[in-house]
Amino acid sequence: MRVRGYFLYREAMIIGDKIFGGLRTFFKKTDIVYWVLTLIASVYGCILIASQQRSGEVNFLRTQIFAVIIGYIAAVIISGIDYKFISKCWWLIAGVALALTFAVFFIGIQVVGTDDVGWISLPGGMTFQPSELTKICFIITFSTHLAALEETGKLRTFIGTMSLVIHAAVPIVLIHMQGDDGAALVFACMFLIMTFAAGVQLRYFIVFILCTGAAVPFVWSRMMNSDQQNRMAVLFTNDDEMLQTYGWQQYQGKVSIASGGMLGKGLFEGPRVAREMVPYQENDFIFTVAGEELGFIGCAAILFLFLLLLYKTLINSGKATDPLGRNICIGYFSLLATQIMINLGMVLGLLPVVGITLPFFSSGGSSAACLYLGVGLVQSVYMHRAGKNEVHIKVDITKPKHKKRRKRRKTKSTGAYDKSLKPQKRVF
């Protein structure tokens, strides 16, 4: 029995070494710094969520950790798949995104703390927000569209530009109809950044800006309801009644950030966090937890982490050797940058509250898991770009040098030609 147990233990160790050896080799081919940055952001976010929920009844931390693990595993799998193959399945990816988006109109539900019907109920009491997955699907399909237009020389044509507008209008309109204007705004910003980076002519952006400015009165009076108008108006007023209703969340958030000072009250020691002074702080206003408990230093650490993550995304975009890989990286950069700026603008009272999460930090399983799908796409571009991990064989294509032929000579003794030498061929 001891001998058998020893051999079983030895076999298990051999299998373990092979698995870990394979993973070690795999991760060496990826952008290790990118993995580390995203993991640090997720751990930092989980710590802030744990601090916020210490007085609550709902276990947001458990959901967040589960989503991060699932997302991380999915990111590793996606990174091992060539992004060019993923792009060829754009029709399937678009179909899944449209099916989930249309499903919300029939089986969608509204969760506590939101004003839109944008979630689907899952077994076990869990919910899923399809718009988060649609953002990743949009990166793939729109990047493929841009690359196809660039390869055919139609990117700078009017028809090519209009096809891009129609492509982006589909998710924007559908998600706006669900009432999630924040997500629709993110799609619009992703569209603008990706088309600008791809090289669409500036005159189209000028026309877009002029049309947007002209449409503001119509949008304000006909498309925005009273709640949305009040959320905008509260940014420019000091009226107590407005601040206690539509501006209450932002007001309390700014007070929490200011109370932290330079070093904060201490992790898990924030009195305002314990009393839940900021409504739904674990989600869109998670930045205020860092401001109160970790102070200016904690907030600066979050901003520095985001700057590194965005910088590495742009670096990987520059390393891409084809338009498709570059567009994918720019698409994920635009997603992160847009959500970061809108969320921080909301928290600081510079923008109206539109329900945009802070990437990798805010509580939300759908957002956390789907963000890692984007990480997997960027890693796939890094790993499978042309010239990466290829064996280069040096081939000499210069004209080979021929040996000089010795001329036939006569022997001194007989005067005849030496037959041991091969005759020289004439060249005509």
pLDDT in tens, 223-243: 888 888 888 888 888 877 888
Task: Find, among 403, 401, 419, the residue nearest to 411 by Cα.
Answer: 419
Note the pLDDT of residue 409.
54
Listed by start position, the domains of the chain span 31-384
Note the pLDDT of residue 396.
45
**Low-confidence residues of the chain, pLDDT below 50?**
390-400, 421, 426-428
CB burial string 219-243: b at 16+ within 10 A, e below: eeeeeeeeebebbeebbeeeeeebe
Note the pLDDT of residue 378.
96
Helices (H) and strands (E) in the chain, counts: 17, 3
Per-residue 3-state assignment (H helix, E strand, C coil) for 136-205 = HHHHHHHHHHHHHHHHHCCCCCHHHHHHHHHHHHHHHHHHHHCCCHHHHHHHHHHHHHHHHHHCCCHHHH
pTM for the structure as a whole: 0.85
User: Where would I find the H helices in 226-294?
Assistant: 226-233, 240-243, 248-260, 271-274, 287-293
Note the pLDDT of residue 16.
59
Q: Which amino acid, 67?
A: A
Q: Are 327 and 143 in contact (CB under 8 A)?
A: yes
Note the pLDDT of residue 395.
38
